[in-house]
């Protein structure tokens, strides 16, 4: 049975499962997990009656599960599926992942502008192309696979002219640049860029099993490392996102860091499920994690993957922060007392058709305060706080 506290469902839009949802000017853009579904564009100006406007497909062996939009320009990721996820699919010959740029000034008639390609890695890694990314309207902060590097790096792409995107800068973990003679100190692709989030002249960049780093981008052409923090091991989960709290609390600068409940690192002590950290970055050269949050009803024994934390909303607007918690749905976490994070509301729907569990994957809050939650398997929930 569906359960909720302090949250009311306005509507449910039946669509393929997704990896990200963003909303601009009453239009929702959904990046889907599985081809042939690529990106859906949904009119949510009347949130009680969502209306599908357009769909962009993806070919076999690929997906386009992340999306960003700014002033009529839509960017979508293009990524090959990992060998584990292919399920016998064969991608088009010569396919290269990267970023797709589209004109969505008329959302019902998206127009493809350009594909920016990166390196295809035929084997040895989870997937090729761009994974998650940020976009401020001029620059995209990508996580591409690139020639000569082990795993995804961070790359800044200038899209001032969407017809001719230009690389503006890049940064990688020392050890990733194999072509430059560097040698990783970690197995496989354990340390790689998941995605960077811009706040002012900083990029808060998650590095999977490498924790996160803070990068100075005063000079975009030469991002420089300020500091970083990594707790896997001993904690077994990869770091998904590092989200800057855009206001001080008790005079402190804070960062919410989510570990994703997947891909547990071998050899780490068992824990029930991934959770979220509060990190003090007042002295950004010495970040310190000092509190954490886990849902109250999480069993105290190790859980199946995708039971615990996935990610907080990437644009925090107040001390109540929506966080997707995979099988535990959407949780609203009050961060007003950073040493004592607490849940003040939640929404746990019934599992969607075709799924045994809820898989809340991404959340976006629009200017009306409405919350849009995409399930990884199926369906988009439109919610409001009550």
Q: Indicate the DSSP class of residue 171.
A: E
Cα 39 from Cα 18, distance rounded (Å):
9
Over range 261-285, report the average pLDDT. Answer: 96
Over range 195-214, report the average pLDDT. Answer: 98
CB atoms inside a 10 Å sphere around CB 46: 11
Higher per-residue confidence, 123 vs 206: 206
Q: Indicate the DSSP class of residue 144.
A: B
pLDDT at 151: 94
Asked whether the beta carbons of 174 and 153 are under 8 A apart, the reply is no
CB atoms inside a 10 Å sphere around CB 253: 17
148-184: b (≥16 Cβ within 10 Å) or e = ebbbbbbbbbebeeeeebeebbbbbbeebbeeeebeb
Q: Is the pLDDT of residue 345 over 60?
A: yes
Q: Domain ranges in the chain?
A: 3-34+135-385
Cα 17 from Cα 375, distance rounded (Å):
6
Over range 67-79, report the average pLDDT. Answer: 97
Asked whether the beta carbons of 364 and 27 are under 8 A apart, the reply is no
55, 111, 64, 124: which is closest to 91 by C-alpha? 64
Task: Confirm whether pTM is higher than 0.95.
Answer: yes
- Tokens at residue 54, please? 């357009």
pLDDT at 366: 98
Over range 149-156, report the average pLDDT. Answer: 96
CATH architecture entry for 3-34+135-385:
7 Propeller (2.130)
pLDDT tens-digit profile of 34-67? 999 999 999 999 999 999 999 999 999 999 999 9
pLDDT at 125: 65
pLDDT at 122: 58
Q: Is the pLDDT of residue 280 over 70?
A: yes
Q: Is the pLDDT of residue 121 over 70?
A: no
């Amino acid at each position: 049975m569906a359960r909720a506290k302090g949250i009311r469902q306005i509507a449910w839009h039946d669509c393929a499962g997704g990896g990200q949802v963003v909303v601009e000017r009453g239009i929702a853009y959904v990046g889907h997990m599985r081809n042939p579904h690529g990106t859906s564009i949904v009119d949510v100006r009347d949130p009680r009656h969502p209306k599908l406007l357009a769909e962009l497909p993806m070919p076999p062996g690929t997906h386009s599960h992340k999306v960003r939009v700014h002033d009529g320009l839509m960017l979508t990721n293009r990524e090959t599926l990992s060998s584990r996820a292919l399920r016998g699919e064969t991608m088009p010959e010569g396919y290269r992942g990267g970023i797709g740029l589209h004109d969505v000034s008329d959302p019902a008639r998206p127009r493809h502008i350009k594909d920016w390609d990166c390196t295809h890695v035929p084997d040895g890694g989870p997937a090729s192309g761009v994974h998650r990314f940020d976009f401020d309207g001029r620059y995209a902060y990508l996580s591409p696979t690139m020639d000569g590097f082990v795993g995804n790096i961070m790359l800044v792409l200038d899209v001032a002219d969407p017809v001719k995107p230009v690389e503006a800068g890049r940064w990688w973990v020392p050890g990733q640049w194999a072509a430059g003679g560097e040698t990783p100190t970690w197995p496989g692709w354990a340390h790689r860029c998941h995605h960077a989030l811009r706040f002012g002249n900083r990029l808060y960049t998650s590095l999977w099993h490498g924790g996160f780093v803070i990068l100075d981008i005063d000079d975009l052409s030469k991002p420089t490392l300020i500091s970083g923090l990594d707790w896997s091991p001993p904690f077994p989960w990869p770091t998904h996102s590092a989200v800057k709290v855009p206001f001080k609390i008790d005079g402190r600068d804070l960062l919410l860091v989510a570990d994703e409940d997947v891909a547990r690192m071998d050899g780490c002590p068992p824990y029930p499920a991934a959770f979220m950290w509060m990190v003090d970055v007042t002295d950004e050269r010495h970040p310190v994690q000092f509190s954490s949050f886990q849902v109250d009803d999480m069993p105290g024994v190790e859980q199946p993957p995708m039971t615990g934390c996935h990610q907080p909303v990437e644009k925090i607007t107040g001390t109540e922060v929506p966080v997707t918690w995979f099988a535990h749905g959407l949780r609203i976490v009050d961060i007003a007392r950073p040493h004592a994070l607490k849940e003040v509301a939640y929404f746990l729907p019934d599992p969607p058709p075709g799924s045994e569990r809820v898989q809340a994957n991404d959340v976006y809050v629009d200017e009306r305060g409405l919350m849009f939650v995409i399930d990884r398997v199926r369906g988009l929930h439109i919610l409001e706080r009550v």
